[in-house]
Amino acid sequence: MPKIVGEIVRSPEVFIQQLLVGLVNGALIAIIALGYTMVYGIIELINFAHGDLYMLGAFASLTVFGAFGIQDGAPLGIAIPVMLVALIACSVFCAGLNIIVEKYAYRPLRNAPRLAPLISAIGVSFIFQNMGLFWGGLKAFIPVMGSNSAAPKSFPDLLPRVDILKFLGIQTSIVFTTKDLIVLVVAAVLMVLLHVFVQYTRLGKAMRATAQSRDAAKIMGINVDQIIALTFLIGGALAGSAGILVGLYNNTIVFTMGFTAGLRAFTAAVLGGIGNIVGAMLGGVLIGLLSSLSDQYLSSRWTNAWVFGVLVVILAFRPGGLLGENVQEKV
């Protein structure tokens, strides 16, 4: 620890740079974490397939770009409309796929012991991952996928990389580009819209009522099945949005990307208080910051151990997470 503090004091700009990197990555993790926390808050299901759904969203957006012939460095006048089309298409695709999975894989097991839907979610995760592997091998129909189905796919570099600080005349080694700003703004808008929807709309109130008690919600005339389907729809749309954002930011995707991202997003949801939307946002940002600082000052091979170590320590003192509530189960 004294060594790390010494490095921060000697190079504060490096520390600030890692904070910015962690903030951007944390925002992306938070979007994925929202899907986990919403589903758990409504039906107390840990949807392990959510990370792989996000991966399919990235593949869907790449397919749209390939269909329009968009490549690196495409003019913004052409790229922006196609990006909007891709965002809508992959969000609708992931939302629809999530609704289908909820109806045929999770709904029949809703009243079964908790282990049954959990195993079902793991099975759906494997199905989605193999769908990504198959999708990546469709070179004859989607040339942008390349010849090797398992190899990483090149995502078109479309977001501008103007260094905002240098553009403002600030001479520093810290790099904060328009690409980082766009990702942060889009992520923030999505999270704020979701929070407003859940807190202040009629359907949002129905979702919160269903989360508190499904039986009581039914008595009050709420169609619980529709509300749960709506929750999966919103979670799937967020996963699709995260897929295209990560593709545009990192410029590479692979069919295994859902496992790591899903694991960190689930950790973020638990850290913030699973079932709590604001907690998922906070947890995502904290996971991003912890990962970035660990990569810089420790070693990337210790990052996961460091992140989960912090999670264990926090849960030891706050079992419900940072913003979660410790609810005692009545017998």
* Candidate ranges 15-29, 271-285, 303-317; pick with highest mean pLDDT: 15-29
Q: What percent of the chain has pLDDT over 70?
A: 97
Say what the pLDDT of residue 331 is. Answer: 39
Say what the pLDDT of residue 123 is. Answer: 94
Residue 196 makes CB contacts below 8 A (sequence gap 6+) with none
Mean pLDDT computed over 306-312? 84
Say what the pLDDT of residue 285 is. Answer: 92
Say what the pLDDT of residue 277 is. Answer: 85
Q: How far apart are CA 313 and CA 276, in angstroms?
A: 20
pLDDT digits (tens, 9 = 90+) for 184-235: 999 899 889 998 998 899 999 999 899 888 889 999 899 999 999 999 999 9
Count the neighbouring beta carbons within 10 Å of the beta carbon of residue 147.
8
Say what the pLDDT of residue 231 is. Answer: 93
Q: For residues 127 and 55, is the Cβ–Cβ distance under 8 A?
A: no
Strand partners, 154: 252
pLDDT digits (tens, 9 = 90+) for 44-103: 888 889 999 999 999 999 999 999 988 887 888 888 999 999 999 999 999 999 999 999
Q: Using alpha carbons, select from 100, 85, 8 the residue that is nearest to residue 293.
A: 8
* Res. 330 pLDDT band, cuts 50 70 90: very low
Secondary structure of residue 125 in the 3-state scheme = helix
